[in-house]
């Protein structure tokens, strides 16, 4: 990933928080036929330091758990809020006209060796954690125990665990840090007037970058 220093985010707790909030990753592996991408929700465990461990699962029928290179680290991409930035929001446009459109976004890239886990207890614990987290906001959260026990056992037999001890963790927070203060203020105003959740979040991120 191209990562200019002014867009780089290195705080591990901040990177882990983005993973928790945007847990559906693109898992990129190298297989017999080349690069392969799968979209999988992951849990981040802070241990071991410094970068922690990512855990998820795939369908047993998905060849990714059999067809991957043990010599090439897997890449997991977690995409956070993003927003189109029009140059019309920059005062610089009126002053010089020397501006172009861009996108602001935040993203985390995690690298590490892929490990396969078939232990039923490990899988059940992972599925329970994933379910608890994603159901937490619902008025009547669904629980694994809501389904018949034999059915859950059958479903656990149909999945395989994926574990990635994170060897490298990169964060890119592209939030108009390379623009002068007046342009950043214009971006905040423009995004704040856009009826979009990502735009509202990005406005806050641009505001924070201006104050850091």
- 66-114 pLDDT, tens digit per residue, is 999 999 999 999 999 999 999 999 999 999 999 999 999 999 999 999 9
pLDDT higher than 90, residue 47: yes
C-alpha 159: how far from chain center: 22
Residue 136 lies in a domain: yes
Residue 50 lies in a domain: yes
CA distances to 7, 9, 110, 162 from 27, in Å: 23, 21, 9, 10
pTM of the predicted model as reported, rounded to 2 decimal places: 0.93
Mean pLDDT of 150-160: 96
Residue 200 lies in a domain: no
Residue 157 lies in a domain: yes
Give the total number of structural domains in the chain: 1
Residue 97 lies in a domain: no
Residue 211 lies in a domain: no
Average pLDDT score, the chain = 95
Q: Dump pLDDT digits (tens) for 104-149.
A: 999 999 999 999 999 999 999 999 999 999 999 999 999 999 999 9
Residue 147 lies in a domain: yes
Position 212 scores a pLDDT of 65
Q: Which residues contact 194 (CB under 8 A, 6 or more apart)?
A: 83, 200
Q: 115, 122, 95: which is closest to 179 by C-alpha?
A: 95
Instruction: Provide the total of helices (H) and of strands (E) in the chain, helices listed first.
Output: 6, 10
Range of the domain at 118: 5-82+103-176
């Amino acid at each position: 990933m191209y990562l200019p220093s002014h867009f780089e985010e290195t705080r591990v707790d901040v990177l882990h928080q983005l993973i928790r909030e945007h847990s559906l990753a693109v898992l990129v592996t190298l297989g017999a036929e080349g690069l392969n991408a799968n979209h999988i929700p992951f849990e981040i465990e802070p241990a071991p330091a410094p970068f922690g461990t990512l855990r998820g699962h795939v369908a047993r029928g998905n060849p990714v758990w059999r067809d991957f290179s043990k010599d090439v680290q897997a890449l997991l991409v977690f995409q956070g809020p993003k927003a189109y930035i029009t140059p019309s929001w920059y005062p610089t446009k009126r002053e010089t006209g020397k501006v172009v459109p861009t996108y602001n976004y935040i993203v985390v890239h995690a690298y590490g060796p892929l490990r396969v886990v078939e232990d039923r207890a490990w899988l059940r614990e992972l599925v329970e954690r994933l379910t608890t987290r994603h159901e937490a906001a619902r008025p009547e959260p669904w629980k694994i125990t809501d389904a018949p026990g034999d059915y859950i056992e059958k479903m656990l037999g149909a999945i395989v665990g994926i574990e990635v001890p994170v060897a490298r963790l990169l964060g890119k927070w592209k939030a108009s840090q390379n623009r002068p203060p007046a342009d950043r203020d214009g971006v905040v105003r423009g995004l704040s007037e856009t009826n979009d959740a990502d735009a509202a979040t990005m406005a806050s991120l641009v505001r924070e970058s201006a104050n850091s």
